Amino acid sequence: MSGAQHPEAPARWFLPRPLDVVTVVVAAVGVPVAALVGLSAYRVVAGTVGVAAGIATVRLVRLALAIHADQRSFGPCRGAGYLGMGALATALTAGALPLVAPGGRASLAFVGLSAAVAMYLLGMLLLPGAARTVATRLRRGFDGLSLAASLAFAGWVVLPPVARPPLVLAAALIAAGALSIFTVTALRAFAHRPAAWLCGSGAGVAVLGLTGLVTASALGRPGWLPPVAAVAMCLGPALTVVGARAAEPVGRPVPPDAPEVQLAAYPLLTGPAVVATLAAVYHLTRYGGFDRTASLIGLAAIPALVVREILAVLDVRRYARRLAAQEAHFRSLVSGANDLILMVGDDLLVRWQSPAAARLFGLSDAEVVGRPFADLMHPDDAGDVTAAFTRVLARRPGAAPTPPLVTARLRDGHGDLRQTESTISDQRQVPEVAALVVHVRDVGERHRLAHTLHQLSFTDQLTGLANRRELMRAIVTQRAVAGHTGAVLVIELHGLAGINDVRGRTVGDTVLVEAGRRLRAVAGRDDVLARLTGDEFAVLTVDGPMPAYALGTRLVGALTEPYRLPGATVHLQASIGLAELSGGDDVENVLRRAGLARRRAGQLGRNRVEWYDAYLEQELVRRLDVERELPGAVARGEFDLAYQPIVELRDGQPAGVEALLRWRSPVLGTVLPAEIFSSARDLGITEEIGQWVLHTACRQLARWSAGGRTLWMSVNVLPEELVAPGFVSRVTETLAAHRLAPERLVVELAEPRLTDHPQSVVSQLAGLRALGVRTALDDFGSGQASLVHLRRLPADFVKIDRRLVTDHTSWQGSDRPLIDVVVSLGRRLGLEIVAEGLESTAQVDQARAAGCRYGQGFALSHPAPPERVEAYLEEFPTASR
């Protein structure tokens, strides 16, 4: 049964139970009633007190057992228990008086008084909130004895000097001492004071009743004393029960100003001492000197005071040691703290600083104490610091404490500026402080760490350029500027993967660092340079699109210069995509658009800058669709070949056919070879497609050859497919499988892409020529090294690009057409010339006049399925037989 378990219990315990009230009322009323009907006084006392005190004993013992069972709290348990034993001693004393002879009743009452006082004293001192330690309880006892001695001395000397029985005198002294201790304990209680007052009052009333019984029994003339004593002895235990039940058994911390820690008892003892002095003066004036009893009573106060002072001194020393330990503890905390603590008055002058000032900031007391706090700060920050202090000082008393955070630069004892943060706590309401307490912390290291973390988070560690996150932040910042301009250039370096594979990552990292240096050298001061991935960089420029395009051109030139490393020189290619900042919904969209333009630059031959436009995105969507549908197209049977005849320009007879790949996609429709092979290179399936084209074309040629025709079949082959291992062997197997002569097959290579693998192409063409397969150089004249190819490549045919074949009206006079030069050169080298792309009769006449043997184009025949080509061939029954 505790307040912790039953919050409403304390309020309920203040109220006596109905049975207790009825018992006290019956006992109090029963005494005069019994006296009126003529019953013996001691029998009346025995009956009424026995019942009332007995019930109180049961209540207190049950309360003690309940406290012990619920809380295992022996202090409160024993307090209630000893109070119950005091009530039991009262009940036993009252009940035993009628059973003893009249001569022994005074002694019995005195013994009962002594036992009850001892139990009540122990119970009071062990109540919760009365006294926590043995030393405190002893001090309470000696305070009470000193008080009792003073009052007893005053009472003895003031009363007339008549004969008083020794038991009465002893009972009076015991009662005085008990009442004094009860009073001191109740007044000094640091918790549950109402409960202590009730218990003390009940115990005091019961002791007074027992004292009355002793007096009545000793004098032999009971008179009115026994009934009055009975009332007191009934009321006292009842009050004790109410008080004990009101005491919270759960211990609470001692507040700093609790009477328990107030060691001086002089205010309490001064009054009785003055009374005793006045009484002594009165006695001397009226009766003369003191008798021996008065002297002994007066001297009894001295030992009690001495012992009490000794206990107080011991407590003071313990308290002083505890304060010294606490002071040393807090001093060590303040001295070893990482914060400088200062006390600032209302005038903003520093009153005190912690010892850590010298260690943390090199500041002595002479440099700080007495100076305005703002003077310690940098002049630029002093105004903000003063404003913060002013706001704190102007805050209403009782407002919620929200210590402001003040950031300022403090000049330390060495003259250096230190970045600091200060919190201001208003402690003016604390009397011992009465100032503003400022905690100053050096945050310079934290700022340096934050800067380092920023570098790690927003900087590429290899090149020192910004990373993707920092670039995106810069783009957001630039786009937020009203009327912003600028562009993003995304740069891809081609060839870095090969350097890593062949020469190692160390060399690759060196190349990346050099590339970053070249970017810095070319870019402007306000441009943001970033490394996005391993071989991808970006530049954010604040200039408009045209200057940004010029910057991209300069970057291409700088990045493609040879990288001269120790023991090696490497070459890289660069593709740059440009997108304006004003385009796109967000930062990711801007980077995506620049990435699309960069990808387009790579597809168009690299070492160039491409500008993003809406058509580019449409091409990308188309490219993605092609790349999604192309894998498996061969297995699904979606590929087809169209054939375009190649005719003799002299007589118009068909001499051969060219196989042209078509993809009949059910999703995308008809897709032409340029689009097919552009995606096939990225997907790595060019060999699969090329092998299907070769087999299909040779199978068709074999069917046409069954009638005795000697047409040759021209098949386009990519350089990647040509240089693949085993290509010549696969051609041999294919010709053997379809029983075709090698000279019936012509392998065509597109001239613009031959520079990718020059040595391997020459080697493979030589192998095909040794096999008997003829080769053709397609799209001659569209590249940058056409004449070199004519001299180096073992080719049999040269197919002139359509740009070299012009209308007859476009050249007149003495200027010789370029086609005549190419045909003349081809004849000297022993090559057959095929004019392709002939779309008009004038172009056919021009090619024939220039000396071209073969022609191909819409003016002669359109590409068609095998059935239509076969019907076309039937129109020339003697051709190629």
Maximum mean pLDDT: which of 90-99, 165-174, 764-773: 764-773
pLDDT of 25 > 70? The answer is no
> What is the pTM (predicted TM-score) of this model?
0.47
At 784 the pLDDT is: 46
Residue 318 Cα distances to 86, 135, 311, 314, 791, angstroms: 34, 11, 10, 6, 113
pLDDT of 70 > 70? The answer is no
Instruction: Give the span between the Cα atoms of 344 and 370, in whole angstroms.
Output: 9
Closest of 193, 191, 322, 186 to residue 252, by C-alpha = 191
At 261 the pLDDT is: 43
Domain boundaries, the chain: 1-130+189-249, 135-162+262-333, 337-448, 459-612, 633-874
Homologous superfamily of 633-874: EAL domain (3.20.20.450)
User: Under a CB-based contact definition with an 8 Å cutoff, are residues 248 and 10 in contact?
Assistant: yes
pLDDT of 118 > 80? The answer is yes
Instruction: Give the span between the Cα atoms of 300 and 284, in whole angstroms.
Output: 19
DSSP 372: B
Residue 117: pLDDT band (50, 70, 90) is confident
pLDDT of 681 > 60? The answer is yes
Closest of 242, 229, 230, 169 to residue 201, by C-alpha = 242
At 283 the pLDDT is: 67
CATH code for the domain defined by 337-448: 3.30.450.20
Pairing assessment for the beta strands 639-648 and 608-611 based on DSSP bridges = unpaired
Residue holding tokens 């967000």? 586
The pairs formed by 34-43 with CB atoms below 8 angstroms and a separation of 24 or more are: 35/227, 40/98, 41/216, 41/222, 41/226, 41/227, 42/97, 42/98, 42/105, 42/222, 42/226, 43/98
Residue 747 Cα distances to 157, 742, 774, angstroms: 147, 11, 6
Residue 198: pLDDT band (50, 70, 90) is confident
The pairs formed by 754-760 with CB atoms below 8 angstroms and a separation of 24 or more are: 754/719, 754/783, 754/785, 754/789, 754/793, 755/783, 755/785, 756/719, 756/720, 757/719, 757/720, 757/722, 757/723, 758/792, 760/722, 760/723
Encoded amino acid at 331, one letter: R
Comparison of pLDDT for 150 and 740, the residue scoring more: 740
Pairing assessment for the beta strands 350-353 and 339-344 based on DSSP bridges = antiparallel
72: left (phi > 0), else alpha (psi -120 to 50), else beta? Answer: left
Residue 498: pLDDT band (50, 70, 90) is confident
Pick from 426-430, 796-800, 832-836: least confident: 426-430
Topology alike, domains 337-448 and 459-612: no
Q: Find the length of the chain.
A: 881
Maximum mean pLDDT: which of 22-26, 411-415, 513-517, 600-604: 513-517
pLDDT digits over 158-172, tens only? 665 555 677 777 777
At 349 the pLDDT is: 92
**DSSP assignment string, 109-168:** HHHHHHHHHHHHHHHHHTSTTT-SSHHHHHHHHHHHHHHHHHHHHHHHHHS------HHH
pLDDT digits over 525-583, tens only? 889 999 998 899 999 998 888 999 999 999 999 999 999 887 778 889 999 999 988 86
Overall fold of domain 459-612: Alpha-Beta Plaits (3.30.70)
pLDDT of 717 > 80? The answer is yes
665-682: average pLDDT = 85
User: Under a CB-based contact definition with an 8 Å cutoff, are residues 120 and 81 in contact?
Assistant: no
pLDDT digits over 246-305, tens only? 765 544 444 444 444 444 444 555 666 676 677 777 667 776 766 677 777 666 666 766
Pick from 305-319, 513-527, 637-651: least confident: 305-319
Residue holding tokens 């160039």? 608
Percent of the chain with pLDDT over 70: 79
Residue holding tokens 């497609």? 689
Comparison of pLDDT for 152 and 634, the residue scoring more: 634
Residue 699: pLDDT band (50, 70, 90) is very high
| Token pair belonging to 667 | 């999703």
Pick from 263-267, 741-745, 872-876: least confident: 263-267
Mean pLDDT over each residue of the chain, to the nearest integer? 79
Radius of gyration of the chain from its Cα atoms, rounded to whole angstroms:
59
At 754 the pLDDT is: 56
- For 552, residues 6+ apart whose C-beta sits below 8 A from its C-beta are 489, 576, 578, 609
Comparison of pLDDT for 789 and 349, the residue scoring more: 349
At 160 the pLDDT is: 59
421 has which bridge partners?
A: 407, 441
444-463: average pLDDT = 81
712 has which bridge partners?
A: 656
Pick from 19-33, 101-115, 467-481: least confident: 19-33
**670 burial level (CB within 10 Å; 0-12, 13-18, 19+):** exposed
Comparison of pLDDT for 330 and 370, the residue scoring more: 370
